[in-house]
Amino acid sequence: MPDKSAHKAHGHEHHRRRLSSPALYINREVSQVAFIRRVLAEAQSERHPLLERVKFLAFVGSQVDEFVMVRVAGLQDQLEAGVREGGPDGMPPALLLAELRPMIKDLLAEQQATLKTVLIPALAAEGIELLDYDQLSRGQREVAAAYFRREVLPVLTPLGVDPGHPFPHISSRSLNLAVTLHDEQAGELFARVKVPASLPRLVPIGTGSKERNGSAHSNGKHAAKAQRNTFVWLEQLIAAHLDQLFPGVSVIGAHPFRVLRDADFEVQSDEAGDLLETVEQGLRERRFGSVVAVVVQAGTPKSVRHLLHENLEVGDADLISLEGPLGLEDLTQLTDLDRPDLKDVPLQATVPPELRRQDIFSAISKGDLLLHHPYDSFSSVADFIELAARDPNVVAVKQTLYRVGQNSPIVRALLEANERGKQVAVLVELKARFDEENNIEWARMLERAGVHVVYGQVDLKTHAKVALVVRRELGGLRRYVHLGTGNYNAITARVYEDFALLTARPEIAEDATQLFNALTGYARGVTYQKLLVSPGTLRPGLLRRIEREIERHKAGGRGHLIFKTNNLVDAEIIHALYRASQAGVRVDLLVRGICSLRPGMEGVSENIRVTSLVGRFLEHSRIYYFEGGGVEEDEVLVGSADLMPRNLDSRVEVLFPIEDRALREQITQVVLPAYLRDTANAWRLLPDGNYERVKPPKGEEPFDVQAWFAHEAHPHREPAPPLALHATEPPAAPAAMASA
């Protein structure tokens, strides 16, 4: 008699192997480059004001730098270590590097072309001129020369390279000039001049006014006077005056170049005696990390390229040659210009009426509050900590800090709370990449003031956003909690979209207490009543809920999952979503950045739709919605965790439930349906891994969800019209998907 259980087990194993097929996964690095391309498309789009397009273009530069210094560097490390296996997509490091290098070069070349052919002419038409040095008039050259003598020359340090002067260290991301010289006695010479980062990259050489027809504020009805600003590139100004650095020697040429070094350092548990000192040592090593790429200008002579190859120890594949100025992230300087007509209209963030009528503790005592930044002002979060610092009834404040920024009102409030004798404990995550130095500075300041500062666990980054305030009230001690998806950073809160919950629910407060005890002390086997915490309960909690949705769909026929996240890479989560699709569950994924899941594959993912939103604000919140299959109550989890192995297994992350029915309905009936309706910021992921813009139906205007939240639908302005999830069109697979 056949063994049915064995047959069933064999079927499950076959099913598992099928879902593990590399053909079902998009490589994460390739997907990340695709995201940067979507950002570049925003720089090319006329739907944004001109200086906002410049900002997008600059962001492309910083994103490519970080990608090369972290992801490409990691692949090179794998290659050197002899790693031959790939990730879920099956692409080994050698093959992946060979595919990525031309993609990066093409991306940077398109960035340069966009600046030259699109943005520079558009800026000139608005009175903002970015000129090459050889385009300057005689009068402008005189102004530039005076600026050079006064501001630049005293800062420069020419470094010769010869047997007595070894090739200097080139710091990562710095802009440099490779200078070739000729001396009557010594012959050909070489020197390096570093372009000072302390000076403006775009040197102002003229201002004035020009007539222009209309403005953003006059609706084009009246002529307006605009300020004319003229700039020249700093490296070109230096190159034009190198004779003052090398008197008596003939300058043959000056060729800009940049170096990108490995920026990824890991703290190992067996080498971290003092975490603060270990991270500081890692920062020093980052400045001397191995060279990953060298970027030069087209036209750089072979002799200079060969010298850079030899001294920086890079191969031909690691050299990127570009037309035009290098390091375009410096273009953000233009956004400081006083040209509101060329920028987005400033967002008027609101404060919830509950907080305008009473103090924040009284408001939270009456019910949970849900904040949606940047539409809700971050000042409400700062007020929460500042009031805790001043309130004589508050006895303790505990908080995590990941990327806090500079001049932080949060840190000032924590210092004040400590001065007023309250128990203050702060977990400062030192390992927040590229924010380490800033966080070290804050940590030391807090320590000097007597605050209890801990640095998290050596092998785990603490990425959770949690603040706990303990207050003495008539009935005894009561705890108030802030849980968020974004950092405690007042600057990024203006441009990052995030959610935050303010609550005094006893079970959540107890969980927050347990979490801080685990972070600051020693704890094993901690259990949480409401929170999902990684590593530990978060991964199994999400997987269990996906499986529950499958079962409830079978019972009620109305299964629906909506996940809004920054990145989706984790293979186990992707397996579960594929199984949900195969069971008939509708799956809507709002994945801003990297997505390794391949939607629209027949028999696997035809019920899955993946959308990326790229707009004025950086979509940063993580929301996980489980409808309940039409037979049980829906559930909404919000928090700090993306769907990546590092977030689920190697970081301290928190997802928290939205238990208040009215707040949950705000997310399920307003927020998520609005995101799914967007036709202005949305890109649809196709089965082949490419993205296409989502277009509005014929005859309809594009629907911009960010503008809608800002001006029409915000619950703290006027009641928002409900948009039931069931009214949203189900994800229909294009005909092309069947053959993918």
Catalytic residues: 463
Task: Please tell me the distance from the alpha carbon of residue 273 to that of residue 267, in angstroms, as a whole number.
Answer: 10
The residue among 97, 98, 30, 108 whose CA lies nearest residue 65 is: 108
Which residue has tokens 């992230």?
329
- If one counts every other C-beta atom within 10 angstroms of the C-beta of residue 582, the result is 16
The residue among 676, 706, 701 whose CA lies nearest residue 347 is: 706
Helix (H/G/I), strand (E/B), else coil: 286 = helix
Which residue has tokens 């000032």?
412
Query: CA triplet 240, 143, 124: central angle to 5 degrees?
Result: 85
Which residue has tokens 């390096």?
192
Could you please report the per-residue DSSP string of 589-602? EEESS-B-B--S-T
- If one counts every other C-beta atom within 10 angstroms of the C-beta of residue 296, the result is 20
Report, in this order, helix, strand and coil percent for the chain, each rounded to 5: 40, 25, 35
Burial 699-734 (b: 16+ CB within 10 A, else e): eeeebbbbbbbbeebbbbeeebeebebeebeebebe
Q: Which helix (H) or strand (E) holds 36?
A: helix 28-44
Angle subtended by helix axes 379-390 and 409-419, to nearest 10: 10
Task: Please give the single-letter amino acid code of residue 527.
Answer: T
Angle subtended by helix axes 275-287 and 436-448, to nearest 10: 150
Contact partners, residue 78, CB within 8 Å, separation at least 6: 93
Tokens of 27: 């490589």
In whole angstroms, what separates CA 15 from the centre of its chain? 36
- Judge contact between 588 and 565, C-beta under 8 A: no
Task: Please tell me the distance from the alpha carbon of residue 665 to that of residue 143, in angstroms, as a whole number.
Answer: 62
- If one counts every other C-beta atom within 10 angstroms of the C-beta of residue 346, the result is 8
- Judge contact between 55 and 42, C-beta under 8 A: no
